[in-house]
Structure 1
Amino acid sequence: MQGKLSEIDIRSILQLIELGQRTGELFVETYPVQPPVGGGSPFFQEARSLQTVPVRSWFVFFLNGRIVYASDTNTSLARLTDYLRRYKIDVSLGSLTVSSIAAVNAPEYGYLWTLLENHTLTPVQGRSIIQSMVHEVLFDLLSLHQGSFIFELSPALSPQLTTLEIGPLLAKIMTQVQEWKQFYPHIQSPDQCLVIADMEALQATVSKNTFNAFSRYADGKTSIRQMARYLNRDILTVARAIYSYVQKGVIQVTDFPVSQAEESGAVSRPVRARDFGLWHEARKLRIVCIDDGVTIRQTVEHILSQNGYEVTAIANPLEALSLVFQIKPDLILCDIAMPELDGYELCGMLRKSTAFRQIPIVMLTGKDGFIDRVKARMVGATDYLTKPFGESELLMLVEKYIGRGYENRQPFDDSLARSLQDG
């Protein structure tokens, strides 16, 4: 089952899966859209230079017409970290040996099960976290008006800690989606962040406890969605609590975290030695390009080498499968259409290894169809780049996932670095 959301809505898709008692995965992707003309936020200013706002996508996993788990396709573990904070659990997820059940499309689920197996989380806490994760994904999906979807029958995500009935969830979340509209235009997205605009007015208006809470969360970095996670509340409850203050201008809403604004240059900050590439690095960032086309290999190698990356171009996918374990790259660029072993198979095999579970894998393809992107996501690809591509497109994508190559080969000047740090 596949199609466009202009032809069938998410609610109907979920109801069909429930009625058919289907087991499998639903993948939903939004279309790239033009940034609004005159959009004032730095996010849209940056997006306008790219001509599109980034695509978002989600996975929902089903067992016999019930939901097992849901996530967006962001490979970051920030969401799980937020939920652990709810229970005052401070653990470095990156240091964990992940459970073997970690699925290619659900690494977060594998980490959650590892925490359960280590008795860091209780089953009750785990079920609560999964339920909250499903709620927030369905809220996003039921708010969509455009995009594409595909549902594929597949073995169930296993084991299951809980399964959720679709009907009651739809009824509850559809009501929340409708009620959310009352906050427009002051609050538009649960991913927006808050900043205190008038400290004195806020302090004079609210109790000491409420003021302390606002001071803690209205920091320009914490989103409304994150506040809901920390406080164990739904986003509607949090939005209601802040709405009157936003209306009065005591609290302002920003489009994205201050940390992202700093990176884009929208917010000023102290100069650091790292900004000038003055920190000594042990090695350059390593990139492997796997493509049977000599022109593509040469082009990628030339562009990336000139920009400070260490590049290894490999024509034979079977040879590549062996070499990547020796090279230990920071990012892999992989063609889809190759003889003997295609890019989907290669990506899927690499994702089965713990060494490559978190490494960005970008598919290089001459195909620009939705199905090809879905297949790439299904086998665990991080992103894709359509051929032919230009230098700026390639560099932008690589920098998005591992940073700039030149920053790792600038000369190191001890005295200058110290003066910048001291300043």
Structure 2
Amino acid sequence: MQGNLREIDIYSILQMIEAGQRTGLLCVDTCNSNHCKQQTYLIFVSNGQVVYATYGDTSLSRLRDYLHLYDGNIKLEQKPINAYITWNIPEYQYLWQLLTENRINHIQANSIIYGLVHEILFDLLSLHQGRFIFDSTSLLFPHLNALKITPILSRVIKQVQDWKQLYPYIQSPDQCPVLVDMAQLHSALPPATMTKLEHWADSKTSIRQLARYLNCDIFTFAKAIHPYVEKGWVKIAFLANLNQVKHQLTRKLEHKSTKLIAYIGNEDYTSQVIESTLKAHGYEVIILTNPLESIGFLFKLQPDFIFCQIAMPELDGYEICSMLRNSTVFMEVPIILVTEQEKLVECIKAKIIGATDYLTVPFGNNDLVMLVEQYLESDMTSKINNTC
């Protein structure tokens, strides 16, 4: 059995394996949508039940994370240690060794396996492209555990569906939380929870890893921090983008008088003109080309002024503006929608969803600077009057 995930999804494949009480290895080779990185997943089944699931590598990082729950002093070396196991999977081999040495018990070993399988299924059920092959000759022995497919599938698929409610603030289990507003978090969270978060949320630890450390599944942890991400007390970013975010935050703190302006849209001539013109007039400018990821960046950076292109894939300018206006963080920040055609219906819609104004392409450099200065000065005057 083999094929393409566009023709048949993982859910249906696993149901067929369960119904046919199949034994073997389901191998899925796919492209991670967030990083365009090739990833391989392995699911071992026996008589229609899952006995193990892992990535197609020899990393021990997942097992190390789970072992923190039971014994943080366990040291693992990345080498095969149990020759009697039919597959060279260090993760699985070490589980057997720890069990036979009585360093973990059967309940703990089964709990770890459940968590490992749950993670793999969560990733796979979120995918829509890639290839799969089921090989009935690839067997994993001996077995530590066997999980019925239907119950765990039902649980995971509901979490995958519920995960969409966390958008756009949380997009991936591989994003890293950073604690920002410590005072607000201390007032809202129990001391024990706050202590754990302060220990693990170091800007380098992903949601996926934090869920392992705190002994809960990915969605449960993400749902728990979602309200605080939405309020801006916790920031979320992919590890690869954290340096850029930290740089912008540092620059903003060091130069409080320098206004930060964000442009959301395609990386084209318009973005180049906005960036070069406004930087020449002393503004900090950041260009965000991914509409979905841009929301998270905006809450991290909290710019003083936002340009947003109307025509974009996935999320258009109207949707982004509406989302921002629903947050107290951006209720008064000037948001300018950028359009290539000045139409009455667009002007009306822009006002309805809360846009401050719109900018028609092409535009003059002087007009751009005057527009920014007009609304930044107006915003500053309003804040002074409100304070007085």
The TM tier, using the shorter chain, reads 0.5 to 0.7
**2: CA distance between counterparts of 1:32 and 1:159?**
31
Task: Name the counterpart of 1:231.
Answer: 214
Structure of greater Rg? 2
- Distance change (3 Å), C-alpha of 1:32 and 1:186: closer
Task: Name the counterpart of 1:368.
Answer: none
Task: Name the counterpart of 1:357.
Answer: none
Q: Deviations over 1:307-347 (max 9, x none)?
A: xxxxxxxxxxxxxxxxxxxxxxxxxxxxxxxxxxxxxxxxx
* Aligned partner of residue 86 in structure 1, secondary structure: coil
- Which of 129, 132, 148 is 2:131 aligned to? 148
CA contact (8 A) 2:5 2:128 kept: yes
- Distance change (3 Å), C-alpha of 1:95 and 1:143: closer
The reply to whether residue 173 of structure 1 matches residue 156 of structure 2 is yes
CA contact (8 A) 2:80 2:88 kept: no
CA contact (8 A) 1:223 1:257 kept: no
Corresponding residue pairs, total: 247
Task: Name the counterpart of 1:21.
Answer: 21
Amino acid at match of 1:233: C
Alpha-carbon offset, residue 32 of structure 1: 6.7
Question: What value does the CA root-mean-square deviation take over the aligned residues?
Answer: 2.3
**2: CA distance between counterparts of 1:163 and 1:266?**
43
Task: Name the counterpart of 1:212.
Answer: 195
* Aligned partner of residue 30 in structure 1, secondary structure: strand
CA contact (8 A) 2:23 2:45 kept: yes
Q: Deviations over 1:345-402 (max 9, x none)?
A: xxxxxxxxxxxxxxxxxxxxxxxxxxxxxxxxxxxxxxxxxxxxxxxxxxxxxxxxxx
CA contact (8 A) 2:49 2:146 kept: yes
Specify every segment of 5 or more residues in structure 1 that has no aligned partner in the other structure, as ranges.
36-43, 45-52, 269-423
Q: How does 1:22-421 map onto structure 2 within 5 Å?
A: 22-31=22-31, 53-94=36-77, 98-104=81-87, 106-256=89-239
CA contact (8 A) 1:103 1:110 kept: no
- Distance change (3 Å), C-alpha of 1:103 and 1:197: farther
TM-score normalised over the length of structure 2:
0.59
Alpha-carbon offset, residue 214 of structure 1: 2.4
* Aligned partner of residue 53 in structure 2, secondary structure: strand
* Aligned partner of residue 99 in structure 2, secondary structure: helix
Alpha-carbon offset, residue 250 of structure 1: 0.7
**1: CA distance between counterparts of 2:88 and 2:44?**
10
**1: CA distance between counterparts of 2:229 and 2:57?**
29
Equivalent pairs: percent with the same residue? 47
- Distance change (3 Å), C-alpha of 1:24 and 1:145: same
Alpha-carbon offset, residue 88 of structure 1: 2.5
**2: CA distance between counterparts of 1:60 and 1:97?**
20
Amino acid at match of 1:75: T
TM-score normalised over the length of structure 1:
0.55
- Distance change (3 Å), C-alpha of 1:97 and 1:76: closer
**1: CA distance between counterparts of 2:61 and 2:3?**
31
Higher relative contact order (CA 8 A, sep 6+): 1
Q: Deviations over 1:36-70 (max 9, x none)?
A: xxxxxxxx6xxxxxxxx211110000111111100
